[in-house]
C-alpha cells in the first residue's frame, strides 16, 4: 500500500480515488465512502477549521518527523508535539523546536494564578454553596410551548382555504387525477413532512427521506397524519390531539392494520413499488420513484392520460392547442380558411410534435388531418423560416381579438437591469397591493407573457406555483434591506466524485448520485434555487423537494455572496436578493463525475444529465418541462440503473441536445416578438 501511495505521489486526486477503490473492494458501500469523501474533514481547503492532532516525534513509525509535520500543516491540520531539551541536539529534530518569537509569545501569555489560603478554602466554599442553594429557588424554567400545536392546526386551516380556491379553477382532468389519489393516498410517491417544535417554540416541518416515508406513515395514528391531495403530500404531527369522537383503540397497537389505516387497500402503484423492491438487487429504482403528476396534462405518467393520446386524436388536439395558446400565444385564425387536402409530410409532422414537446410515438397521426392542427403547423413553419405572422393568430399584437394589450399583469411588468452583469429581468411589481415580500421575476420576455396568459384571478403565489410545477425558470426577488442576515453553511469543495480509468458504471453509481443529490437539497437555499432553475436541475429537485419552499421567499442574506443571486438596479441602486446556486452545485445535481483518462492527473468529465450551460438555448430547451424531456429523464434513469448506459461526456451532450435549427429559430422568433410587444406596453 505504501508503495502504491509513493507511486501516486504528486497526483493527490488519483491517490484519494485509489484509497476509495481500495475501501470499496474491501467491502465498504460506495455510497458511504463517497459521502465521507465529500465531508469537510476530507477537504484540502485551508479555510476549514480542524481540531488538530498530537504527534509523538519519537514514534518509530514516523520515519521523517519534519516532513510529516509539514505535510499536516500544509493541509491546514494544527499539530502539537512535546518538545524536550534533548531534541535541540538531535540532527533530525533540531529544526523543529520553537522559535525565539514563539517562546516570547508564550511567556507573554503566561498569567500567574492566585492561590487561596488553605484556611479560607472551606469558608469560601461554604459561602458558594449557600449562594447556589439560594439560587435554586429562582432557577429559570424552560419556555412553555407557544400555543401547543396551534401553529400546525393554523397551517392546516390555511391549506384548506387555499385548496378550496384551487378547486374552483382546476380542470376536470386535474380533478380526476386528484380524486384518484384521494381515494387511495400514496404512501411512497407522496412527500411526507413531520411537524416538530424547534428552538424557541417555533413549529416547522422536517422532510422525511424517501426510504422512510412508508414506515413513518405506518407509525402514525390516523388523526396524526393528514393527506393533501392538491399538493400530494402528508402533513404529520405526533402532538396533534385525539379527536373526541375518535373510536380507535388507544393502545400502541392502534396502527397494526398498517396501510389499511391510511386509505384502504394498498394502491396499485404501491404494490408495484413493493414488487420492484423485492425483486431489485440495488433498490435504487424503487427508492427514488419519480412522480410527476399534475406537472403537465400530457406528462401525467401515472394515471393513463398520456397513453390515451396514442389512440385519441381529439385529446391530443385539445392538449396541443392549449399548449400553443399558453406557451406561444397562438390562436386559430377566425374564420378558418381552406386547408390543403394532401397528406402532410411525415418530416413536417415530426418537426411539429418536437416543437410542442410530444414524443413521436405518443399520438395518432390522424391528428394532422384536423384543420386546427394544420393551421398550427403552418404557424410553426413560418416562425422557423422567418415568415409573416398574421394578426389573428398571435395574441401579443394590439390588433388581435384577444390581445394582451391592457392585460393586468402586463401593466405590472417593469424591466430590471443588473448594474454588475447587465442581465435584464422582467419583474411583476404589485406595488402596495402585493401580498408577498418578494416580487416574481423571469429572465425572458416569452416567460413574462406566459405569466400574463394565466387566468387573471390567480394570485402571484398561484402563478409561482404554476411556474415551479411546470419547470419554468423564475426568481423571487426581495429587497436586501428587508432580509435577515444569516451565516453560510460550511461546505466541502470535493462534491464531485472521481472514477478510475477502468471503472465500469453500474446502477450503484446512480444510487450514489441520487443520495448525494438528496443530501445537497436538504439545505433550503439549494432546494429553492434548484426548484426555480428549470431544466434537469429543476427535475432533480422536483423529485425530492416540495414546491411550497419556493413560496416562502429568499431564505436570507448570506455572508457568502455565492449563496445569493444579487441584482442591483442600474437606475435606482436598490439591491434585490434571491437564493442562488453555484456552478459546482448545479454540476452535482446533474451527476457530473471526473473520470481519469490514465494520462497523469487528466480527467474527462461525464454526467448523467446535461449541464445548464449545455442545455440552455439548445434544441431541447423548451423553456418548460415537456413529455419529451420526461422521456429522456426516465430513459437515462432506467438504462443507467440496469447498467446499459454510462454517463455521457460533455461533447456527447452538446451533440445530443443540439436539435433542429428550425426549432431554435422558432423559439428565438417568439422571444423577439414577445420582447417587442412588452417594450411597447411598458413606459
Contact (Cβ atoms closer than 8 angstroms) between residue 65 and residue 522: no
pLDDT of residue 252 exceeding 60, the answer is: no
- C-alpha–C-alpha distance, residues 328 and 308, integer Å: 24
Instruction: Over range 493-506, report the average pLDDT.
Output: 85
Q: What percent of the chain has pLDDT over 70?
A: 80
- The answer to which of 49-53, 552-556, 612-616 has the lowest mean pLDDT is 49-53
Q: CB atoms < 10 A from the CB of 373, how many? A: 23
Nearest in space to 435 (alpha carbons), one of 351, 553, 520, 352: 553
Q: What is the pLDDT of residue 190?
A: 86
- pLDDT tens column, 599-657: 877 888 999 999 999 999 999 999 999 989 988 999 999 999 998 999 999 999 999 99
Cα dihedral 315, 321, 324, 325 sign = negative
If pLDDT is split at 50, 70 and 90, which confidence band does 292 have? very low
Over the chain, what is the mean pLDDT? 81
**β 225-228/233-236 pair status:** antiparallel
If pLDDT is split at 50, 70 and 90, which confidence band does 535 have? very high
Measured CA angle at 420 (ends 425, 672), to 5 deg: 35
**β 233-236/191-197 pair status:** parallel
pLDDT of residue 262 exceeding 80, the answer is: no
Q: Which residues share a beta bridge with 476? A: 440
pLDDT of residue 258 exceeding 90, the answer is: no
Q: What is the pLDDT of residue 293?
A: 37
More confident residue, 419 or 71: 419
pLDDT of residue 102 exceeding 80, the answer is: no
pTM of the model: 0.68
- C-alpha–C-alpha distance, residues 359 and 269, integer Å: 24
pLDDT of residue 66 exceeding 80, the answer is: yes
More confident residue, 162 or 418: 418
- The answer to which of 153-162, 333-342, 385-394, 582-591 has the lowest mean pLDDT is 333-342
Q: What is the pLDDT of residue 124?
A: 45
The structural domains of the chain, with segments of one domain joined by +, span 1-42, 44-103, 149-236, 321-385, 408-681
- pLDDT tens column, 427-473: 999 988 888 999 999 999 999 999 999 999 999 999 999 999 999 99
Amino acid at each position: 500500500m505504501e508503495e502504491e501511495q509513493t507511486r501516486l505521489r504528486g497526483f493527490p486526486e488519483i491517490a484519494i480515488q485509489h484509497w476509495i477503490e481500495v475501501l470499496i473492494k474491501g467491502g465498504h458501500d460506495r455510497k458511504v465512502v463517497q459521502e465521507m469523501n465529500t465531508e469537510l474533514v476530507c477537504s484540502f481547503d485551508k479555510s476549514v477549521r480542524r481540531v488538530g492532532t498530537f504527534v509523538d516525534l519519537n514514534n518509530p513509525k514516523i520515519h521523517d518527523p519534519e516532513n510529516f509535520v509539514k505535510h499536516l500543516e500544509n493541509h491546514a491540520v494544527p499539530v502539537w508535539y512535546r518538545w524536550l531539551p534533548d531534541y535541540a541536539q538531535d540532527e533530525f529534530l533540531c529544526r523543529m523546536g520553537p522559535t525565539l518569537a514563539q517562546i516570547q509569545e508564550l511567556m507573554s501569555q503566561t498569567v500567574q494564578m492566585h492561590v487561596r489560603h488553605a484556611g479560607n478554602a472551606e469558608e469560601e466554599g461554604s459561602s458558594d454553596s449557600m449562594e447556589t442553594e439560594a439560587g435554586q429557588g429562582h432557577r429559570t424554567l424552560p419556555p412553555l410551548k407557544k400555543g401547543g400545536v396551534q401553529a400546525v392546526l393554523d397551517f392546516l386551516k390555511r391549506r384548506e382555504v387555499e385548496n378550496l380556491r384551487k378547486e374552483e379553477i382546476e380542470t376536470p382532468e386535474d380533478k380526476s387525477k386528484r380524486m384518484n389519489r384521494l381515494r387511495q393516498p400514496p404512501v411512497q410517491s407522496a412527500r411526507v413532512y413531520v411537524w416538530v417544535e424547534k428552538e424557541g417554540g417555533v413549529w416547522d416541518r422536517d422532510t422525511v427521506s424517501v426510504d422512510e416515508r412508508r414506515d413513518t406513515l405506518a407509525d402514525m395514528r390516523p388523526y396524526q397524519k393528514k393527506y393533501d391531495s392538491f399538493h400530494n403530500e402528508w402533513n404529520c404531527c405526533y402532538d396533534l390531539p385525539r379527536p373526541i369522537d375518535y373510536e380507535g383503540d388507544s393502545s400502541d397497537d392502534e396502527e397494526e392494520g398498517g396501510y389499511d389505516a391510511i386509505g384502504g387497500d394498498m394502491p396499485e402503484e404501491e404494490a408495484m413499488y413493493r414488487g420492484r423492491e423485492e425483486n431489485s438487487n440495488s433498490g435504487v429504482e424503487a427508492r427514488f420513484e419519480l412522480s410527476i403528476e399534475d406537472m403537465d396534462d400530457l406528462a401525467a405518467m401515472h394515471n393513463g392520460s398520456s397513453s390515451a393520446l396514442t389512440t385519441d386524436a381529439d385529446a391530443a388536439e385539445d392538449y396541443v392547442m392549449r399548449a400553443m395558446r399558453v406557451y406561444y400565444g397562438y390562436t386559430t385564425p377566425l374564420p378558418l380558411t381552406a386547408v390543403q387536402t394532401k397528406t402532410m409530410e411525415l418530416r413536417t409532422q415530426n418537426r411539429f410534435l418536437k416543437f410542442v414537446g410530444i414524443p413521436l410515438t405518443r399520438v395518432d397521426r390522424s391528428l394532422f388531418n384536423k384543420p386546427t392542427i394544420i393551421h398550427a403547423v403552418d404557424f410553426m413553419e413560418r416562425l422557423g423560416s422567418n415568415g409573416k405572422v398574421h394578426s389573428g393568430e398571435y395574441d401579443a399584437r394590439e390588433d388581435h381579438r384577444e390581445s394582451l394589450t391592457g392585460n393586468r399583469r402586463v401593466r405590472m411588468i417593469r424591466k430590471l437591469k443588473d448594474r454588475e452583469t447587465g442581465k435584464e429581468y422582467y419583474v411583476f411589481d404589485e406595488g402596495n397591493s402585493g401580498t408577498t415580500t418578494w416580487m416574481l421575476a423571469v429572465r425572458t420576455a416569452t416567460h413574462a407573457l406566459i405569466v400574463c396568459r394565466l387566468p387573471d384571478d390567480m394570485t402571484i403565489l398561484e402563478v409561482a406555483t404554476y411556474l415551479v410545477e411546470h419547470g419554468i425558470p423564475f426568481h423571487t426577488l426581495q429587497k436586501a434591506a428587508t432580509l435577515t442576515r444569516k451565516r453560510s453553511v460550511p461546505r466541502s469543495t470535493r462534491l464531485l466524485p472521481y472514477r478510475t480509468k477502468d471503472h465500469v458504471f453500474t446502477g450503484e453509481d446512480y444510487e450514489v448520485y441520487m443520495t448525494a443529490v438528496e443530501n445537497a437539497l436538504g439545505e433550503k437555499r439549494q432546494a429553492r434555487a434548484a426548484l426555480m432553475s428549470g431544466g434537469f436541475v429543476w427535475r432533480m429537485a422536483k423529485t425530492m423537494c416540495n414546491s411550497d419552499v419556493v413560496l416562502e421567499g429568499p431564505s436570507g442574506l448570506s455572508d457568502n455572496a455565492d449563496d445569493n443571486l444579487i441584482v442591483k438596479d442600474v437606475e435606482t441602486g436598490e439591491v434585490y436578493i434571491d437564493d442562488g446556486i453555484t456552478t459546482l452545485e448545479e454540476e452535482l445535481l446533474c451527476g457530473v463525475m471526473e473520470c481519469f483518462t490514465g494520462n497523469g492527473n487528466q480527467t474527462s468529465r461525464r454526467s448523467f444529465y446535461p449541464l445548464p450551460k449545455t442545455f440552455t438555448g439548445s434544441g431541447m430547451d423548451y423553456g418548460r418541462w415537456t413529455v419529451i424531456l420526461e422521456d429522456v429523464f426516465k430513459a437515462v434513469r432506467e438504462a443507467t440503473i440496469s447498467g446499459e448506459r454510462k454517463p455521457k461526456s460533455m461533447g456527447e451532450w452538446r451533440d445530443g441536445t443540439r436539435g433542429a435549427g428550425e426549432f431554435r429559430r422558432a423559439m428565438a422568433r417568439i422571444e423577439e416578438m414577445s420582447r417587442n410587444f412588452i417594450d411597447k406596453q411598458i413606459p
